[in-house]
Amino acid sequence: MGLDIFRAFNPKLYDLCEPYRVTDDALMPAEYRKGARDKHDDWAVMRSTPRIETARRVPLPFRQDSGVCEKRWMLWDTCYPATPGTLIETREYRTVGGVFNLPHALVDCQIEGSGWASFSAWLDGRWVPCFKSYRKVIMGRLLAYYSGGLKQDLTVGFNPDWSIRSDVMGWWEPPTCSWNRVSP
């Protein structure tokens, strides 16, 4: 089917990402493969959209170009393509099951509640703007959130059997808006 609706938002970016389109289900994060949570059931609209239609195996992590940013060491999936210059090193990872020495990457992270931020992806040998995000606490109680574009998922964690679970992937995301209550 293809999601040409995303092409309408940013045709140049969409075309640059097409070589990274995921067509092999084995390249999808395990949780999102066929027979698992293979549809975007977390979206308000287009909930029957197959996740493989929005997946792009672009190099990660993205670079934050604007907004308040901090560098954080995050657990990393070394089987996924990394952007040039990404610092990856083995670091301690503590869990209730013990301490593990696992790969971590130093990534740009938007500060929660800091307002607007924009990110770029490494495509065609250069940094290309791909994603905008707005996160702001309003009236001290609600976190307003807006985003849209090619979004990175950097989630790496453990399965119940202590094997590594990776959701690392680039995803097309429609313009999204939400408000969430924050703890005082």
Domain boundaries, the chain: 4-68+112-181
Q: Which of 30, 28, 22, 31 is nearest to 3 (CA)?
A: 22
pLDDT at 118: 96
pLDDT at 174: 76
pTM of the model: 0.85
Give the C-alpha separation, 178 to 3, whole Å.
23
pLDDT at 62: 98
pLDDT at 1: 40
Give the C-alpha separation, 69 to 75, whole Å.
18
pLDDT at 159: 72
**Residues in a beta bridge with 137:** 143
Give the C-alpha separation, 105 to 173, whole Å.
24
pLDDT profile of the chain (184 residues), mean per 10: 67 93 90 73 61 92 96 95 97 87 95 89 96 82 78 86 84 77 66
3-state secondary structure (DSSP) of residue 103: strand
